[in-house]
Amino acid sequence: MSCITNSIQQQDKVAVILWLYHIDLWPEFYNLLKPLSDNIVLYLGLCDSTISDYPQIEKDIKTLDHKLYYQNNYGCDVAPFLNQIQTVSEPTFIKIHSKKSSWGVKNNIQWRSVLVHDLIGSKQIFDNNIVQLLDPTVGMICNQNLLLDNREIRNTDIIKNIVNMMNIDYDYVANSSFPAGNMFWSKTSIYKKYFTPKICEKLNFYLQQEKGKVDDTASGTYAHSLERIFGYIIKANYKTFNFPQHDVIKILNDQAPNEQYYSLIITYDNHCYLTEDLNAYGNIIDKNKDTMLIEWLHMPTIIYQNYIIIDKHTIVKDKNAKNSIN
């Protein structure tokens, strides 16, 4: 792995570790990172030999405090992260990557949008996350809906092998929580404690055998095992998981449990979902000062539902509007 550096070390900055395998997503990430430029150092990983092949990235990255890495395509987004975390000097880091796959009961959730929004979707979200991580008891910030547990599946034997390398008691951390999708914000010291150069060298030997798209449906993999261990070490350090604070829009509905409304989150790229159920997912098709049109993707058929805007944070289904079905 090679590295080119162009950074001014500031301890109050946040490291953003971005593995950009899908380079066509650079404009999306750059538009999110540029407003945060005073507060971040970008650790950009590319799966290629030279940035000059990507003139727009080469131009844009000059506007950001950054370090540039190159790595072959192995070990999914995990191997690049292990190599990059070794050089991070900022006290906290954000791990993100250019995930294009979908998730959910109907495989309709663009979970890159959900996960990236939680971390750098706006300056307000970013600042709130920083405040939460100042709490010494907090170890990680991630999406609440995608903080999973009891999901080792076929990876248990590999997980046992890795935690044994790290002197972590497997029985204590087994099947505990981890951030599915592998995007989160945490404290650098915790990860450097476990992912030492010696251990990363051992892990890289195994990760180099996992090239291209890595699947753990038939047998366990080091990439998927480490995804779980990234969460397990939070428990091993007796820290807690916290979740981003969002501006939510209340959808008034007397069928909703308890509060008589559902809570809608709209992501930076106009996807949306209910905090009560991530599978209730859709797209904002149109929005003006009076109405909002949502394309809901989780129904048996796609439904276009119109809502009346009551105020900035409250909407209600337009009962006079006829739903469109795709």
DSSP code string of 176-217: --EETTS-EEEEHHHHHHHS-HHHHHHHHHHHTT-BSS---S
Q: Which pLDDT does position 246 carry in this prediction?
A: 87
Q: Beta strands 138-141 and 184-187: pairing type?
A: antiparallel
Judgement on whether residues 262 and 217 belong to the same structural domain of the protein: no
Pair (213, 276) in one structural domain: no
Residue keyed to tokens 């999914």: 76
Q: How confident is the model at residue 8 (pLDDT cuts 50, 70, 90)?
A: very low
Please report where in the chains the tokens 């990172």 appear, as a residue: 33
> Each residue of 81-136: pLDDT tens digit?
999 999 999 999 999 999 999 888 888 899 999 999 999 999 999 999 999 999 99
Residue with tokens 């180099």: 208
pLDDT at 129: 96
How many Å separate Cα 248 from the centre of its chain?
Answer: 19
Question: Is the separation of the CB atoms in 292 and 298 below 8 Å?
Answer: no
Q: What is the pLDDT of residues 207-234, one digit of tens each?
A: 999 988 888 877 899 999 999 999 999 9
Name the pLDDT band for 7 (thresholds 50, 70, 90). Answer: very low
Last residue of a domain, one of 176, 208, 242: 242
Query: Both 143 and 291 in a single domain?
Result: no
CB-count burial class (<10 Å; 0-12, 13-18, 19+) for 141: buried
The mean per-residue pLDDT over the stretch 157-177 comes to 97
Task: List, as one string, the DSSP characters of 146-177.
Answer: TEE-S--TT-HHHHHHHHHHTT--HHHHTT--
Based on the fold, state whether residues 226 and 281 are members of the same structural domain: no
pLDDT above 70 coverage of the chain, percent? 94
Which CATH number fits the domain that encloses residue 52? Answer: 3.90.550
| Beta carbons within 8 Å of 306's beta carbon, 6+ residues apart | 291, 292, 293, 317, 318, 321, 323
Sign of CA dihedral 105, 106, 111, 113: negative
In this structure, are 114 and 257 located in the same domain? no
* Residue 326 confidence class, pLDDT cut points 50, 70, 90: low
Q: For the chain, what's the residue count?
A: 326
The CA distance from 80 to 141, in Å, is 21
The total domain count for the chain is: 2
| One domain for residues 162 and 51 | yes
Domain holding 258, by residue range, is 249-325
Per-residue model confidence as pLDDT tens digits over 232-265: 999 999 999 999 998 899 999 988 887 899 999 9
Same domain, 237 and 255: no
Of 242, 275, 298, which one is at a domain's C-terminal end?
A: 242
Instruction: Give the pLDDT score at 324.
Output: 63
